[in-house]
Structure formats: structure tokens, C-alpha cells
């Protein structure tokens, strides 16, 4: 998605340690009309699939997931990272390693909201090591639901999450795929 690549180049900031900050539009401040364009792009990509639910994980995937769900006319379900009073004990649960925060956490969804009848599109803002997506697909599998694929805003294609998931047969559609990035030389995208 050319508009996303341009926005990343214009507004994104690269820091040492492969950190890309896109807080101006994607994961702190949210450019809602732009999220809507991304939602429509994912709708085009997956329009031939039967989708009953959009699954994401808190927090930054939620705005995009809402726009995708709006385009498909289906609900969003987001996995929660913390056990709270508002979440029942009757959950599917998976453990995910966060490379960003350097810890492991539990991601949970209540069983009643994901069933064997569901055909699920997974949405997230970033794909790097793929740990979050693997966790979300584990939750889908526990529910006996079907995963039709994953829609990602920004894939760090120089990390191996996307390759491993595609090799295992998962359909991954990333709107921008970064081949390399560096605070000095900037961002290069994968030429497709």
C-alpha cells in the first residue's frame, strides 16, 4: 500500500535497535481516516473469504481491527493481556513472548466469544518475530475456529516472523514490508 509506505517515510522515525516509531498515526495518536483506508485495503484483500470475526490483541491493533470489522460488518474480538475482574475464568489462554518489552505474558479470550463456527481474520499493527500472531492463532485453534489469514499494517520483513508463518501455510498480507531500516540511511521497503 503505497500511501502507507509514504506515510511511514514521512512520519516514521527509526531508532537504534530496529525501533520504528509511528506514534503520529498508528499506535499513540491515531489517524482515523487513514485507518479507515487501511481497513478498506484489507477488505479488498480478503473480500473473497467468509469472515465472521476480526481478532486482534490489545492495544495498538484495535483501531485498525475496528476499521476492518466496519468494512466487513462483523465484530472485533481483542485478546486481553491481563487477568481482570471483567474477564471470566472461562477463557482460552496462551503465552506470548514480547520482544518489545522483554517479558512473557498471557493473552486471553473468553470462550463464549470464539467458537468452531467462526472464520477469523487476524489483524495487528506490526509483524516482526511473529510471537503475537502465533499466540492469536493458538487461541483460534483452541476454539476450533478457522483462521482465514492475517492482515498486518507494517511487517519488519528483515525479521523472520513473516517467513516462518508463510512457510507454515498461513496467509499473511502486510500493507508495508520493510526490507531494512537504519537511523542513518532510512527505510527501504521490499519491492514486490
Instruction: Output the smallest distance, CB 118 to its own copies, in A.
Output: 11
CA-to-CA dists, residue 68 to 11, 60, 169, 181, angstroms: 23, 14, 23, 28
159, 99 contact by CB (below 8 A): no
Which residues, other chains included, contact 148 with Cβ-Cβ below 8 Å and sequence gap of 6+? 46, 49, 50, 51, 119, 120, 121, 171
Our CB check for its own copies shows the closer of 77 and 170 to be 77
28 is a site residue for its own copies (CB under 8 A): yes
Strand partners, 97: 104
Our CB check for its own copies shows the closer of 47 and 82 to be 82
Whole-angstrom distance, CA of residue 161 vs CA of residue 164: 5
* Residues in 76-115 that interact with its own copies by CB under 8 A: 76-78, 80, 82, 84-88, 100-101, 109-110, 113
The contact pattern for its own copies, residues 45-64, with x = CB under 8 A and - = no contact, is: -------------xx--xx-
Handedness of CA 41, 44, 49, 51 (dihedral sign): positive
180 is a site residue for its own copies (CB under 8 A): no
Enumerate binding residues for its own copies (CB under 8 A). Answer: 17, 19, 21, 23-25, 27-33, 35-36, 58-59, 62-63, 66-67, 69-70, 73-78, 80, 82, 84-88, 100-101, 109-110, 113
Amino acid at each position: 500500500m503505497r500511501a502507507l509506505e509514504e506515510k511511514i517515510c514521512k512520519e516514521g522515525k527509526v531508532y537504534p535497535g530496529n525501533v520504528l516509531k509511528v506514534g503520529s498515526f498508528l499506535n499513540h495518536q491515531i489517524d482515523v481516516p487513514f485507518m479507515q483506508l487501511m481497513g478498506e485495503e484489507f477488505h479488498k484483500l480478503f473480500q473473497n473469504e467468509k469472515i465472521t470475526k476480526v481478532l486482534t490483541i490489545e492495544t495498538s491493533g484495535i483501531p485498525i481491527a475496528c476499521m476492518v470489522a466496519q468494512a466487513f460488518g462483523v465484530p472485533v474480538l481483542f485478546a486481553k493481556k491481563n487477568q481482570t475482574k471483567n474477564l471470566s475464568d472461562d477463557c482460552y489462554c496462551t503465552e506470548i513472548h514480547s520482544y518489545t518489552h522483554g517479558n512473557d505474558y498471557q493473552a486471553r479470550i473468553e470462550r463464549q466469544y470464539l467458537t468452531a463456527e467462526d472464520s477469523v481474520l487476524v489483524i495487528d499493527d506490526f509483524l516482526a518475530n511473529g510471537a503475537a500472531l502465533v499466540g492469536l492463532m493458538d487461541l483460534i485453534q483452541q476454539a476450533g475456529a478457522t483462521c482465514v489469514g492475517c492482515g498486518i499494517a507494517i511487517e519488519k520483513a528483515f525479521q523472520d516472523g513473516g517467513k516462518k508463518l508463510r512457510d507454515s501455510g498461513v496467509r499473511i498480507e502486510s500493507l508495508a514490508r520493510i526490507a531494512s531500516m537504519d537511523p542513518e540511511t532510512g527505510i527501504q521497503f521490499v519491492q514486490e
